[in-house]
Structure 1
């Protein structure tokens, strides 16, 4: 099972989100929301947790107060007893929550202008690939989200350098290679929700079960 739920921050206001769903949010999320400077950052933070509650309630029937969230050594969040695995990512107007029966990571990035200088952080094989395709944002951000989703799958954050592994894209999809060779049973799947964004989910599950956009009316079920 690998389900992905996403939402746009555009229809929401922070004041309304807290007024309607404040009792559903963890103290950690409320604290982070308070410390963010921009309205959009606050909305991304709140919607990330609301999408998690929505997905867990839909799959397991849990209510928000029954869901206990902790953090691993490098900050990756997890649900107590690993009843499900989840990961959250946001960029621009979108927030995404992936939930699965196995470990996973997800990353979404809005396409922006880049310079070739950023290529230096990548593995040599990836630099060669990027130099061939040039400054085409789609190729760069597809690769970036593949790498980020894999690092989030590992849960090691910046402790795994971007040049310590590489992604090989071929006819049969994308594969991860590190110093020990190809990583078996790790699957990278590209997701298409908006032509101005790249998104990848990395998981031990071969196929995404569903990719669903969540609207206001859907989130209202959290209060039922």
Structure 2
């Protein structure tokens, strides 16, 4: 993994089977802060513990490899008032998502960004979820197609995460049109929008979003990370 350049938006993936080796798990645990290690034990299911460990350790490793500024264990994080994680004293933006056995991360020096992933599946309570998060014109587009709904869902969540509101901003007030998410109400003093890129990779719906500025980012989707290339 190389350094990140100013106008890139890099997307990385990792899977839980990376933790099958005990030595790998011990190494990843050594990278986390005391607060992160305590959070792991708040999860009752071992799979949830593993997912949190992998996501936050891989985040630290990627930050170090992309910037060259700090060792993985030295990164310090904070949160905005709306709960979006940020890095103390460093300009790089990041976001992460997880679903099933997969985690996804995105990084940018130039753009606020967000990412969401969902495995392809039949969606429980599809009709209810459509009513919660869709505008009338989006309902017509989706119909009863579960795949179309998951594409729209990841688009909305990625855009909301890029903006920094998450679902504190109602998803049915965010219109997805083309490759833009248009916020129908003002956020603070201005009406904002996000741009996004959708892909369907290995059975995973993946959307990465960013808040536009003077130049659009170059999106680079990386091969699946393994324990070996994380250490390289």
Regarding TM over 0.5, the answer is yes
Instruction: Single out whichever of 108-117 and 78-87 deviates more from structure 2.
Output: 108-117
Question: Is 2:213 the partner of 1:202?
Answer: no
SS of residue matched to 1:87: strand
- 1:46-125 pair list within 5 angstroms: 46-61=53-68, 62-101=70-109, 102-114=111-123, 115-125=126-136
SS of residue matched to 1:212: coil
Deviation at 1:21, TM superposition (A): 2.1
- Kindly provide the CA deviation profile for residues 5-54 of structure 1, in whole angstroms up to 9, marking residues without a partner as x: 11111242495544222221122321221111222211211111122122
Aligned CA-pair RMSD: 2.3
Query: Structure 1 146/43 Cα, relative in aligned 2: closer, same or farther at 3 Å?
Result: same
SS of residue matched to 1:112: coil
Q: Following the alignment from structure 2 to structure 1, what is the Cα–Cα distance between the partners of residues 196 and 161?
A: 12
Query: Structure 1 36/16 Cα, relative in aligned 2: closer, same or farther at 3 Å?
Result: farther
Question: Is 2:201 the partner of 1:190?
Answer: no
Question: Is 2:46 the partner of 1:39?
Answer: yes
Deviation at 1:81, TM superposition (A): 2.3
Q: Going by fraction, where is helix more abundant, 1 or 2?
A: 1
Structure 1: runs of 5 or more not aligned: none
User: Could you tell me the TM-score, scaled by structure 1's length?
Assistant: 0.85
SS of residue matched to 1:209: strand
Query: Structure 1 179/71 Cα, relative in aligned 2: closer, same or farther at 3 Å?
Result: closer
- Kindly provide the CA deviation profile for residues 46-81 of structure 1, in whole angstroms up to 9, marking residues without a partner as x: 111122122212211121233111111121111112
